[in-house]
Structure 1
Amino acid sequence: MTRLSSALLLLALLAASVFVGASAASAHGFSSVVYAHVSSTEPERVQAKLALEYDLTLVSVGTSEKDDAFYRVGQKAWDDGDYPGMVEAAEQNHDALADYVSKRFSVRAAGGEQCTAELQKNVTVDLQDEVPYANLVVDYSCPAPSKTRSGHTVTSTLFPDSETFVTGTKTIVVYAVDGKQGSATLDAQQKSFSTEQTSFQRFGEFFRLGAEHLLGGIDHLLFLVALIAGSRRLREVVLAASAFTVAHSITFILAALGVVSPPSIVVEPLIALSIAAVAGWYLWRLWRRRSGADELVVPASAGHFALDRAGWSRLAVVFGFGLIHGLGFAGALGIHEAFSGQLLISLLIFNVGIEAVQLAIIVLVFPPLSVLRKRAHRASLVVTGIVTAGVFVMGMIWFVERVAAG
């Protein structure tokens, strides 16, 4: 197979993936985040403060524990926005809630012995990212550690994919146990962690989570695809990707610090609109300039970056949209405040995971596109036009859907 054929095949597959990905219209709308603060003052006593989405808890407990009363009363209170009613429903069905939590969130001593869980009677409900969350406190009694083994293992299987209510649930754990502090993220692939885990293991989990988030977030992927397809030279796509990286890192960190916390009802439609806008930018240029759409007209005084006026304008637009996507990355983890310095470092590693995948996609896609432009210029315009048109259509569909859902 020639280099030209390889380039055409890869870009054709890329175009097909745009339409195959259409079913994932809401990259962040069908997942959930559970928060857990795990602490202990002595090895035999561990406490977990859990925050779970209230409506998911109703359905999950009602299904697994066959507690129809909790679901019926709690759902009515949830529909009415009756917070005292939500609390009352949870406290009246304490036993079913306790059984559910003890099965889905467990702590084990160093030797593997199960710690005994006891759910406290008091429950509170508050808003997190405009969603009611139930706040529970669970006390664990654990066997005394041996002289040779220490540490605890925390496991979460809350809201699993098998229940089909949500997919890709993440449990973010911040812990201060056994004299060690840190954070971890648990999901279907990584259900447990040990408080004896190394920094490399802890940060590796967040790196993986960041990489998986970008790969699983079709909207962010299509934004990147539109960015690559509309870039005329390698320096242009590198500068655009760098601007996007800097921008979403800024808002990601600000969200992690609790400085900004815009509602997802605003962020998600804007992300969809940004996808359509970046794709539309290239389609407009293709319509105006036809075969000259990918020409780069750089004046002699262009400077070190060697971009023309259109290139600089596009860079500014990409930076602005990168700020919005950073809020989407943070929203995917439900981040509103810096729980600890360790968590903030972990979130930065999460961001590095995103960037690693982004760079890999650029390395994979742009060279074949460059070869295609040199060997079959007209064909390259057709392929990139089809790809960006598909991205534009999907971005607009998602924008309308997300505005309507809000």
Structure 2
Amino acid sequence: MPDHPHSFAGCSRIAALVRAILITVLALCASISVAASASAHGFTSVVFADITSAGSGTARVELQLEYDLLVVSAADAENDDALFREGTAAFEDEDAAAQSAALEAHADTVLHYVADRFTVSADGTACTPARAGEITMTVQEGVPYAVFVLHEQCPPTSDGHVVTSTLFADEEGYVTGTKTLVTYALDLQSGSAALEAAHPSFSTQQSVLERFWEFFTLGAEHLLTGIDHILFLLALIAGSRRLREIVLAATAFTLAHSVTFILAATGLVSAPAAIVEPVIALSIAIVAAWYLWRIWRRGAAATELDTRTGTLGLDRAGWLRLGVVFLFGLVHGLGFASALGIDEPWSWTLLWSLLVFNLGIEAVQIGIILLVFPVLALLRHRAPRAELWVTGLLALGVTAVGLFWFVQRVLSL
């Protein structure tokens, strides 16, 4: 399509906008090292807590904590060098029995560390914790977790219980963020909550709206801090020439990852992170490279859709792209589920909160589309060649990042 008669004049008027977009592309590429660090083991952590009534004013708390973080944090906080040596050796040997034995041998150290940072209180009075049973081991997303049970003896209460978690705090220096995901059936109430440094406590009497907001913001934060999912979305936007295309692509992606997200939550589908994470990285590269291929195959004509469109305004290539996006969306759904450690069968207690978590993801996704796509549409109208350069550079940068991550994640298997 020939340039608009005033396209070159338009370029000068939107030069600042183009520069801003190019700076964004460079920033995304520069974030490779940051994102690579963020994906490293131990950079962030998730704690799982299940709290139920055990009768006679006793609350049963089952905790699952990342094993190596528990070892180094408890050993450092309690000055227990022996725990560090024995626990680290068991971790390096990947010996679950030795890991459990190391924690059992230093159970007082571990209990003291955990009891100071995970508390249950009633009417402003702290419950008294006592360990119940042996410490065992499990695995969450390929990472060893320690499992142990506490019985919290609480005073009588009419206002419910307050749960507070400051486990693996940022100032300890081993993580940059820890989320504690709590499911509970206590005080004739049941539900779930997400605790973090900014909001470390919740009450079993909290409202439905408060629970909704916690998981909605958790989902929004997950997408905003998940550079891989943002890059996938940017690749979809860059390769979409009309609003209809991005709406259909985003809808296909949303439906797909919602399906696997729910199936994972109910234990019907699971896949190891060692497979999911490389495929997510590869999906980013493929979707971005698809647009580069269109540019190479059609040249400047790639800025326009084929006129031979069928159902929903898509040609054969458009439908093929939609199918690919749907398939990759299924994999991304497993990635979203792994962010909450969803790999236990029939997690119905968390299901409602997971759906709200998904809504938070969608809100951010829609926000990114509303911010980026109109800018590209304006460029396409006022300066088609500039828009082609911007989207081409964006796609090239995203492809490079996706391939980098794919190789990195495969080599780390």
TM-score of the superposition, structure 1-length normalised? 0.94
Structure 1 window deviating more from structure 2 (219-228 vs 27-36): it is 27-36
Conservation of the 8 A alpha-carbon contact between 1:118 and 1:139 = yes
2:409 — aligned with what? 402
SS at match of 1:181: strand
Give the C-alpha shift of residue 27 in structure 1.
Answer: 5.4
Q: In the alignment, does 2:153 pair up with 1:141?
A: yes
- String of CA shifts for 1:257-282, please: whole Å, max 9, x gaps: 11121110111111111111111111
Alignment equivalent of 2:78, drawn from 56, 59, 65: 65
Q: In the alignment, does 2:314 pair up with 1:307?
A: yes
Distance of 2:340 and 2:13 partners within structure 1 = 41
SS at match of 1:154: strand
Residues 69, 121 of structure 1: CA spacing in aligned structure 2 closer, same or farther, 3 A cutoff?
A: farther
Alignment of 1:196-345 (within 5 A): 196-299=205-308, 302-303=310-311, 305-337=312-344, 340-345=347-352
Conservation of the 8 A alpha-carbon contact between 1:154 and 1:192 = yes
Conservation of the 8 A alpha-carbon contact between 2:265 and 2:348 = no
Distance of 1:237 and 1:6 partners within structure 2 = 25
1:172 — aligned with what? 181
Give the C-alpha shift of residue 169 in structure 1.
Answer: 1.9
Instruction: Give the RMSD, CA atoms, in angstroms.
Output: 1.9
Identity of aligned residues (%): 54
Pairs aligned (count) = 400
- String of CA shifts for 1:21-67, please: whole Å, max 9, x gaps: 22213655432221111011447311200011111111111111111
2:361 — aligned with what? 354
Give, as a single letter, the amino acid of the residue that structure 2 aligns with 1:4: I
Conservation of the 8 A alpha-carbon contact between 1:60 and 1:159 = yes
Conservation of the 8 A alpha-carbon contact between 1:261 and 1:336 = yes
Distance of 2:202 and 2:346 partners within structure 1 = 19
Alignment equivalent of 1:385, drawn from 369, 372, 392: 392
Give the C-alpha shift of residue 17 in structure 1.
Answer: 3.1
Residues 203, 342 of structure 1: CA spacing in aligned structure 2 closer, same or farther, 3 A cutoff?
A: farther
Alignment equivalent of 1:53, drawn from 66, 69, 72: 66
Conservation of the 8 A alpha-carbon contact between 1:11 and 1:365 = no
Conservation of the 8 A alpha-carbon contact between 2:267 and 2:346 = no
Distance of 1:127 and 1:91 partners within structure 2 = 18
- String of CA shifts for 1:129-161, please: whole Å, max 9, x gaps: 22221111111122222xxx4101101111222
Q: In the alignment, does 2:39 pair up with 1:32?
A: no
Moved beyond 6 Å, runs of 4+: none
Give, as a single letter, the amino acid of the residue that structure 2 aligns with 1:163: E
Distance of 1:353 and 1:69 partners within structure 2 = 44
1:19 — aligned with what? 29
Conservation of the 8 A alpha-carbon contact between 2:142 and 2:272 = yes
Alignment of 1:97-136 (within 5 A): 97-109=110-122, 111-120=123-132, 122-136=134-148
Distance of 2:108 and 2:31 partners within structure 1 = 43
SS at match of 1:395: helix
1:94 — aligned with what? 107
Distance of 1:227 and 1:71 partners within structure 2 = 47
SS at match of 2:24: helix
Conservation of the 8 A alpha-carbon contact between 2:265 and 2:347 = no
2:6 — aligned with what? none
SS at match of 1:167: coil
Give, as a single letter, the amino acid of the residue that structure 1 aligns with 2:79: K
Distance of 1:245 and 1:4 partners within structure 2 = 33
Structure 1 window deviating more from structure 2 (19-28 vs 376-385): it is 19-28
Distance of 1:181 and 1:40 partners within structure 2 = 11
Q: In the alignment, does 2:386 pair up with 1:374?
A: no
Conservation of the 8 A alpha-carbon contact between 2:267 and 2:347 = no
**What stretches of structure 2 of length at least 5 have no aligned partner?**
1-9
1:76 — aligned with what? 89
Give, as a single letter, the amino acid of the residue that structure 2 aligns with 1:17: A
Give the C-alpha shift of residue 8 in structure 1.
Answer: 2.3
Distance of 1:311 and 1:7 partners within structure 2 = 29
Conservation of the 8 A alpha-carbon contact between 1:26 and 1:398 = no
Conservation of the 8 A alpha-carbon contact between 1:239 and 1:315 = yes
SS at match of 2:125: coil
Give the C-alpha shift of residue 80 in structure 1.
Answer: 1.9
SS at match of 2:134: coil
Distance of 2:227 and 2:37 partners within structure 1 = 8
SS at match of 1:231: coil
SS at match of 1:122: strand
